[in-house]
């Protein structure tokens, strides 16, 4: 749309039932690509249902990191949306609340379990 500017925000969370392995750190590995595809599907479908949904353009999983426990994997993503002067300003607190609600109080993302204290949205 005319006058729209592409804006970005980061999304981070920890999955507690995906064991971190070093091949998850390698962007061209089969395991990275497979996990990236699944995470992108879950994240994109959540954000499309959120208040930024009509303006949401997609997310890119930027990495997987080792969590505190053996079965924990931290997920990092950068997401984009079209911002326009006529739209309400991006509200990361509101988006956090929506994502929290849609993930059963930050406990479930599809068939994955989440660390309740791990969700982070940064605009």
Domains and CATH numbers, the chain: 5-122 (3.30.70.960)
What local confidence, expressed as pLDDT, does residue 6 receive? 87
**pLDDT tens per residue across span 14-54:** 999 999 999 999 999 999 999 999 999 999 999 999 999 98
What is the average pLDDT score of the chain? 91
What local confidence, expressed as pLDDT, does residue 84 receive? 72
Using a pLDDT cut of 90, give the percent of the chain over it. 76
The region that residue 3 occupies, defined by phi over 0 for left and psi between -120 and 50 for alpha, beta otherwise, is left
Degrees, nearest 5: CA angle 4-94-96: 105
Question: Could you tell me where the DSSP H helices lie in the chain?
Answer: 30-48, 92-102
What local confidence, expressed as pLDDT, does residue 25 receive? 92
What local confidence, expressed as pLDDT, does residue 40 receive? 96
């Amino acid at each position: 749309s005319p006058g729209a500017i592409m804006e970005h925000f980061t999304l981070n969370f920890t999955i507690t039932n995906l064991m971190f392995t070093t091949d998850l750190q390698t962007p061209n590995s089969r395991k990275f690509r497979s996990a990236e595809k699944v995470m992108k599907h879950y994240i994109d479908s959540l954000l499309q249902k959120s208040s930024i949904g009509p303006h949401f353009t997609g997310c890119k999983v930027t990495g997987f990191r080792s969590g505190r426990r053996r079965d924990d994997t931290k997920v990092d993503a950068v997401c984009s949306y079209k911002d326009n002067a006529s739209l309400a300003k991006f509200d990361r607190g509101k988006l956090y609340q929506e994502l929290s609600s849609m993930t059963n109080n930050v406990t479930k993302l599809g068939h994955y379990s989440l660390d309740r204290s791990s969700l982070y949205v940064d605009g």
